[in-house]
Amino acid sequence: MSKQQQTDLDAMLRNTPLDTAADVPTLRAGFEEVMRQVPVAPDVRKTPMTVGGIGAIEVTIDGTDSADVILYFHGGVYVIGSAAASVPLVADLARRTATKVITVDYRLAPENPYPAALQDARAAYEGLLQQGMDPSRIALAGESAGAGLAVATLLAFRDDGKTLPASAFLMSPYADLTLSGESVVDKEPLDPLLTPDGLRRRVTDYVADADASDPYISPVHGDLAGLPPLLIQVGSHEILLSDAIRLAARAATADVAVTLDVVPGVPHVFQAYAAVLDEGDAALDRAAAFITANFAAPHARRAT
């Protein structure tokens, strides 16, 4: 059954490709229109808010009440995407963890290149701390560019000697904007969503005049020592596979508690298709267990 699900999903994605080479307004409009078609269960509550002065949406499930928070960063190669578009996936994570999720509308490139997204991510986390939240009751999460941004945020706070959150859950992290991973080329025939050329066209939108190998842009090139436990999930059919593998290796080398979860035969951010893909459903269950376990036995720490 799962193999047929993978085949059907691959065909669907290839029939509705994300043209990352399109002009930015067209790309954004097309993506948001697609995401508006994704159903959200009636018990999902979406509350617009600001955190640390940054726009966001708080996502909760009726009947749940938790002191824990997942701070979420959406994907979209730093150019597209929004908090609203992330709600279907975020709601699934909120339901499985029985935790509220705050999904952040960080500023997008090219209008706001690096370091705008990182500044907003930092402000959102600092906003939670200013509200009196215990860092050990906060987890970071994100998909694609949002996962890379989550790691960059951890590095920035570690370098400032700030207390870090309990854990981070990273889906298909876009963590090397130099595009030096072998899978960028090797996995291109298998990836139904992303292409090397499409990524190259968008890199300069975010990087602008900065250095793409800066660890705050491309965490795979950084020292990850002192980070909290990480769960990295990635599909074997995506061109960003190498980003996930190298990020996990850097973390392991730096004595970070890291779990690399490579799921065969599935595409980029496969968890978003949990309703039709068994592997996505199971992966989110594993992620929920990871997040809640780290809330229960917090590993938040101050960098040394």
Catalytic residue among 86, 167, 218, 238: 238
74 belongs to the catalytic site = no
The CATH number of whichever domain residue 29 belongs to comes to 3.40.50.1820
Domain assignment of residue 301, yes or no:
no
Catalytic residue among 144, 167, 183, 242: 144
Domain assignment of residue 302, yes or no:
no
The strand pairing partners of 283, in sequence order, are none
Phi and psi torsions of 303, nearest 5°: -60, 150
126 belongs to the catalytic site = no
For strands 54-61 and 230-235, give the pairing: unpaired
Domain assignment of residue 67, yes or no:
yes
In the chain, the number of structural domains is: 1
Q: What is the pLDDT along the chain (304 residues), one digit of tens a residue?
A: 589 999 988 888 888 766 766 789 988 988 888 888 888 999 999 999 999 999 999 999 999 989 999 999 999 999 999 999 999 999 999 999 999 999 999 999 999 999 999 999 999 999 999 999 999 999 999 999 999 999 999 999 999 999 999 999 999 999 999 999 999 999 999 999 999 999 999 999 999 999 999 999 999 999 999 999 999 999 999 999 999 999 999 999 999 999 999 999 999 999 999 999 999 999 999 999 999 999 976 554 444 3
Catalytic residue among 74, 221, 237, 268: 268
Domain assignment of residue 168, yes or no:
yes
For strands 100-104 and 69-73, give the pairing: parallel
Domain assignment of residue 225, yes or no:
yes
Q: Which domain holds residue 238?
A: 2-296
- What is the helix (H) or strand (E) element at residue 171, kind and residue range? strand 167-171
Domain assignment of residue 242, yes or no:
yes
Domain assignment of residue 178, yes or no:
yes
221 belongs to the catalytic site = no
pTM of the model: 0.95
Q: Please tell me the distance from the alpha carbon of residue 12 to that of residue 16, in angstroms, as a whole number.
A: 6
Domain assignment of residue 229, yes or no:
yes
